[in-house]
């Protein structure tokens, strides 16, 4: 497998991320007129999750299940072994998990949150507390559904949006120990570390930090669970930023991380550019505790709710995670966009992380109070003026507390996901261009209010509306500046 990670220098001196792949299958896109985009927003409750892809130009909602698959993955899907039980596709999946993640027991689950459901069902009881570097939406929803709670234990630096700290996803070791002493180890079924901490802007943790967490876990005899959904990129950033590992291979770095965890789970929709998920461990006791839950919630133990074709794609995708020329593509594009915006003074999360470019809406839309969901409004406004669909990662994505009160998010972000090997550089430049325009016209953007608020994970299907005629004002200015350009 190639190991080309070196940046290729341009004679011009320009810093351009050069693609080390070619595009062989393409999908036509449509950029519908701004009037249609306004209708689409009204139909979709100003919630980008509810847009139809017919109305979306660049889909930057997520990298989940949208990373480009390789020719080898697609080829492998053709030789899958259809069987309810004992499928050879599962044997290949197991082998890939053992080779890449270094874990011999594998339980299949149909995606990351299904793994979270299994783990929560097995270990969370009323009053349980799970310390973590930071929550992910589905993780927290599952833990609270089973009566547990979470504590987020990042260092203060993680909340500094414009920072140079290489590892904002690190867990605060002092706070961790304090949390264990306060709640008592018996109430803490596991400590959870999330690779490339999603909701704070795709920020990695260092292996040294994971070692320190492991030492505390050992001291208090608590399990350590690793959410490995974004493990590949975390490993790549360790190689770039943690001196000790600058000459290590991706495989060595990945296993240094997984080797410190008792239990590893992942969304294959991210980790291996496919669909599906899994839970793996070397601890036979843990395996036996979780095993009965798979046929109950997911499916038989050799498919776990997934198609065997997807299982084949996961197996190949896991090996491809070791290829630096593949894994570096998304973070390098993100870095390109983040640096371009940062250079223009447009507030973004720095240093550039993984998954996407995260725009700091709290700073851009200071005139919109959090009660009016600034990140949601900005996401809708950006779609309106560009056809680009991002995702709100702010207070709309937060859940209410147990008394039904709003809990405002620490950060109000628009996430523009850059899935692996999907977009071209001119498309990224278009995003930069339209974001710059919106930033200059930010005062025109107004707030939103809920018209429909689901009780669980409200951001998926919730409906909102603008609290004034700000979308019309934005369109008028757009027409003034762009004429009849789409
Ligand atoms: N853990 C992390 C860190 C995630 O980012 C995700 C999903 C999950 C667990 C759940 O996995 O979607 O396969 O059920 N993140 C997606 C996103 C949804 O858009 O960031 P899943």
Say whether pLDDT at 460 is over 60.
yes
Cα atoms in the 13 Å half-sphere on the side-chain side of 305: 21
Closest alpha carbon to 419 in 68, 74, 70, 72: 68
Say whether pLDDT at 5 is over 80.
no
pLDDT at 332: 96
Strand residue runs (E) in 133-240 = 149-152, 190-194, 223-227
Domains of the chain by start residue, with CATH: 34-63+326-482 (3.90.1150.10), 71-322 (3.40.640.10)
Measured from the Cβ of residue 9, the count of other Cβ atoms closer than 10 Å reads: 11
Closest alpha carbon to 208 in 174, 236, 180, 167: 167
Q: Report which protein residue has its CA nearest ligand 1's atom 12.
A: 112
What ligand 1 atom has the least distance to the C-alpha of 277? 13
Q: Report which protein residue has its CA nearest ligand 1's atom 10.
A: 112
Q: 209 vs 133, 171, 173, 223, CA distance in Å?
A: 11, 7, 8, 16
The sheet with strand 413-417 has its strands ordered as 356-360, 413-417, 391-393
Does residue 62 have its Cβ closer than 6 Å to ligand 1? yes
List, for residues 49-59, the tens digit of each pLDDT value: 999 999 999 99
How far is 154 from 200, CA to CA, in rounded Å? 10
pLDDT band at 2 (very low <50, low <70, confident <90, very high): very low
pLDDT at 258: 98
Does residue 197 have its Cβ closer than 6 Å to ligand 1? no
How far is 49 from 376, CA to CA, in rounded Å? 11
Q: Would you report the helix, strand and coil content of the chain in percent, each value rounded to 5?
A: 45, 15, 40
Q: What is the largest CA-CA distance in the chain?
A: 66
Q: Report which protein residue has its CA nearest ligand 1's atom 8.
A: 112
How far is 261 from 214, CA to CA, in rounded Å? 8
List, for residues 321-332, the tens digit of each pLDDT value: 999 999 999 999
- Per DSSP, 101 falls in state I
- In the block, tokens 């990224």 appear at 428
What ligand 1 atom has the least distance to the C-alpha of 138? 10
- The more confidently predicted of residues 74 and 4 is 74
Q: 64 vs 395, 396, 459, CA distance in Å?
A: 21, 19, 16
Task: Using the mean position of ligand 1's atoms as its centre, give its distance from the Cα of residue 112 in Å.
Answer: 6
The rounded mean pLDDT for the chain is 96
Cα atoms in the 13 Å half-sphere on the side-chain side of 463: 7
Strands 277-281 and 263-267: antiparallel
List, for residues 374-391, the tens digit of each pLDDT value: 999 999 999 999 999 999
pLDDT at 3: 46
Q: Report which protein residue has its CA nearest ligand 1's atom 18.
A: 64
Say whether pLDDT at 4 is over 90.
no
Does residue 137 have its Cβ closer than 6 Å to ligand 1? no
Say whether pLDDT at 303 is over 90.
yes
Does residue 113 have its Cβ closer than 6 Å to ligand 1? yes
Measured from the Cβ of residue 331, the count of other Cβ atoms closer than 10 Å reads: 25
List, for residues 139-168, the tens digit of each pLDDT value: 999 999 999 999 999 999 999 999 999 999
Q: What percent of the chain has pLDDT over 90?
A: 97
Catalytic residues: 84, 136-137, 227, 270, 393, 459
Does residue 194 have its Cβ closer than 6 Å to ligand 1? yes
Task: Using the mean position of ligand 1's atoms as its centre, give its distance from the Cα of residue 230 in Å.
Answer: 9
Q: What percent of the chain has pLDDT over 70?
A: 99
Does residue 64 have its Cβ closer than 6 Å to ligand 1? yes
- In the block, tokens 């605060």 appear at 172
């Amino acid at each position: 497998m190639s190991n080309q990670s070196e940046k290729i220098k341009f004679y011009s001196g320009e810093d351009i991320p050069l693609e080390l792949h070619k595009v062989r299958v393409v999908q036509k896109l449509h950029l519908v007129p701004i009037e249609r985009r306004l209708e689409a927003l009204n139909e979709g409750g100003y919630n980008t999750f509810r847009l139809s892809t017919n109305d979306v130009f660049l889909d930057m909602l997520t990298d989940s299940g949208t990373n480009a698959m390789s020719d080898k993955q697609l080829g492998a899907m053709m030789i899958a072994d259809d069987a309810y039980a004992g499928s050879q596709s599962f044997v290949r999946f197991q082998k890939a998990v053992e080779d890449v993640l270094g874990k011999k027991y594998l339980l299949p689950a149909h995606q990351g949150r299904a793994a979270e459901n299994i783990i929560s069902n097995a270990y969370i009881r009323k009053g349980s507390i799970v310390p973590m570097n930071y929550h992910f939406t589905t993780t927290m929803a599952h833990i609270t559904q089973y009566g547990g709670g979470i504590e987020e234990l990042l260092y203060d630096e993680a909340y500094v949006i414009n920072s140079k700290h290489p590892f904002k996803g690190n867990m605060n070791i002092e706070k961790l120990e304090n949390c264990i002493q306060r709640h008592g180890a018996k109430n803490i079924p596991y400590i959870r570390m999330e690779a490339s901490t999603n909701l704070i802007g795709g920020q990695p943790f260092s292996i040294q930090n994971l070692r320190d967490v492991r030492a505390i876990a050992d001291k208090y005899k608590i399990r350590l669970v690793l959410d490995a959904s974004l493990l590949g990129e975390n490993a790549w950033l360790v190689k770039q930023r943690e001196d000790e590992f600058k000459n290590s291979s991706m495989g060595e770095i990945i296993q240094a991380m997984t080797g410190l965890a008792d239990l590893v789970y992942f969304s294959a929709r991210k980790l291996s550019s496919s669909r599906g998920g899994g839970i793996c461990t070397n601890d036979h006791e843990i395996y036996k505790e979780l095993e009965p839950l798979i046929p109950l919630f997911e499916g038989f133990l050799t498919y776990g709710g997934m198609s065997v074709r997807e299982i084949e794609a996961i197996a190949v995708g896991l090996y491809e995670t070791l290829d630096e020329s593949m894994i570096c593509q998304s973070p390098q594009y993100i870095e390109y966009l983040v640096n371009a915006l940062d250079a223009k003074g447009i507030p973004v999360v720095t240093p550039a992380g993984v998954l996407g470019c995260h725009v700091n809406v709290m700073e851009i839309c200071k005139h919109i109070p959090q009660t009016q969901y600034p990140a949601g409004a900005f996401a809708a406004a950006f779609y309106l003026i560009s056809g680009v669909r991002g995702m709100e990662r702010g207070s709309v994505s937060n859940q209410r507390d147990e008394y039904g009160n709003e809990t405002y998010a620490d950060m109000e972000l628009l996430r523009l996901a850059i899935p692996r090997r999907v977009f071209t550089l001119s498309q990224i430049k278009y995003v930069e261009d339209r974001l710059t325009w919106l930033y200059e016209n930010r005062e025109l953007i107004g707030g939103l209010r809920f018209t429909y608020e689901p009780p669980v994970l409200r951001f998926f299907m919730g409906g909102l509306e603008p609290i004034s005629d700000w979308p019309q004002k934005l369109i008028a200015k757009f027409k003034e500046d762009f004429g009849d350009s789409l």
